[in-house]
A and B are shown apart, each in its own frame.
Chain A
């Protein structure tokens, strides 16, 4: 077993701007050893991985699957060499919990959005047109998806050995079927298919011990991400019952997002007069240069050293750039995490809308310089972990990415991932005259996704021991 991980709960969060009226109690220490590691800790990059979706035909076999998985799950920070060969995370859809035999009363205690499932939330989330569930890759969005298993490994050989053993194990539990597999990876550079380093602005979580990389954002209360602990409102997020099932769990959002990389490159090429301007326009849309260097810290040119410096590339705010001359208010990274830019407006508390993201890439990268689509399916597997599907993932998606009301531009959407019909604009403040890019096409298509619940380890044992009917 892993040695217990010390968990500090003493880190103060001065100015954590939430309801004084609710009188935040000091939280209990985080039970790191009972929380699936993938939610709280990033895996060492680079890595390769695979996502498996499973259908449970026989509940007894489903419970046997959990029993077999349990010894392979490693809570706490990722060890350099996972003992099963891969870092595993297991999560269940609402349908999966139901098939496993979770009692009705307990099922009803889960978040309404989880019970509905992502496909049912499509209109709300902007998954329409080419992104609508009718066009999703099967079996995504169907009632057949019960279990989601993520296996990430330091290298391909490790991963294949794990998958082979899993396949062997599966032969012994025929009542569980692998119905979908998606391989993924993270490049050593951390860059995704659009060419930009991703996954930088992760929130520090109180009590976890991971370093704070943005000095302007004190660690977020653990209850924002793990159920059973005080959150930023001072209360507890609604937790599924019984407590053994809900505590130390987290909701997972899983989305396969196809990226139209050639179209993105072509759009930039069409709008730019020079290669330098092309890079600048791309950076303005993303909010960072390709290296990950934030525009606020490096407004005029990429700074690869800054981009790769984890101690600096997340250490900034927007108060010195409220008008967006360095980083447009509509840029992707600024929309997804407005940081301190809205604090003076008194209408939103950004700390209530933070997300832990565990995204990976899939499909081959489009070679540098290619502007023609090669027909390959490539993109991002977006993975979110948090205690609140609605006020974290859905809020960010609907209010900040798919809408522009909050920045005073209702007709503009996120230029990279916004649900757009191609008629929207993107405004780049600059002297003497702002630039407005017209008709920004959709660069991302939703191929499918699921809302899942990743239980704690005790909860998994409880699930494994559910009685027959």
Chain B
């Protein structure tokens, strides 16, 4: 498999591109894979109710075993062109998922950068369709949530209605009613 990354950037919407990897699970590793996924789900950032994954440039991460646990899908949405970050994946993000990837074919310790590239490119499939319901990067969305939380706090103040009458706050008043 070649490693010409420029031809495979994935489909993007705004600043975000889809990124899907389809792996073959090592024979007999199905149960161990499930255990590793349960362990991940118990880790900070992945527990139910947690929203701060350690990797700040992905919107979500899902691991889906399928075909009787012989295959594994890793699907995410990445801020930026993921192919530009290929070498960076080897340095940090891949290691975070080490306990999962060691159950898939091709992850043999990734002894070289070429091995990393082959591991990713052999598994990556570009989406046939990809759409998003909102724009913005993870950083922008986190910021937007912070701002909205602050805004709601302002609205809970009995003095908010008067304060928002100032002409400079008109755009906020416009979205304060519901």
Contact = CB atoms under 8 A, between A and B. Distances in A.
A and B form one complex: yes
Interface of A: 17-23, 112, 232-235, 344-349, 352, 391, 395, 398-399, 403, 405-410
Contacts of B92: 17, 346-349
Contacts of A349: 87-88, 91-92
A233 B143 contact: no
Contacts of A22: 90, 110-113
B163 interface: no
A223 to B, nearest CB: 11
Interface of B: 4, 14-15, 54-58, 79-81, 84-85, 87-88, 90-96, 98, 109-114, 116, 136-140, 143
Given A410-B14, A410-B15, A19 B96 contact: no
A19 B88 contact: no
B19 to A, nearest CB: 12
Contact of A399 (B80, B91, B113, B116): B80
B56 A347 contact: yes
16 contacts: A19-B113, A21-B95, A21-B111, A233-B112, A345-B55, A346-B54, A346-B96, A347-B57, A347-B88, A347-B92, A352-B87, A395-B84, A399-B84, A408-B138, A408-B140, A410-B137
A405 B137 contact: yes
Contact of B85 (A19, A20, A234, A348): A348
Contacts, number: 92
A112 B112 CA distance: 20
A347 B93 contact: yes
A237 B24 CA distance: 29
A16 B159 CA distance: 53
Q: Which of A347, A349, A407 has the most CB of B within 10 A?
A: A347
A248 B30 CA distance: 47
A346 B45 CA distance: 13
Nearest to A399: B84
Contacts of B56: 344-347
Q: Which of B58, B87, B98, B138 has the most CB of A within 10 A?
A: B87
A407 B136 CA distance: 12
B110 A19 contact: yes
Nearest to B116: A19
Contacts of B140: 408-410
B158 to A, nearest CB: 23
Given A233-B91, A408-B143, A409-B140, 8 more contacts: A19-B116, A21-B110, A22-B111, A233-B87, A233-B113, A235-B112, A346-B56, A348-B88
B91 to A, nearest CB: 4
A352 B143 contact: no
A141 B129 CA distance: 38
Contact of B95 (A19, A233, A407, A410): A19
A17 B91 contact: yes
A112 B7 CA distance: 13
Nearest to B82: A347
A18 B4 CA distance: 22
Contacts of B114: 235
A406 B85 CA distance: 11
B137 A346 contact: no
Contacts of A410: 14-15, 136-137, 140
Q: Which of B84, B88, B109 has the most CB of A within 10 A?
A: B88
Nearest to B54: A346
Contacts of A347: 55-58, 85, 88, 92-93
A349 B95 CA distance: 13
B48 to A, nearest CB: 21
Contacts of B88: 347-349, 352
Given A410-B14, A410-B15, A21 B55 contact: no
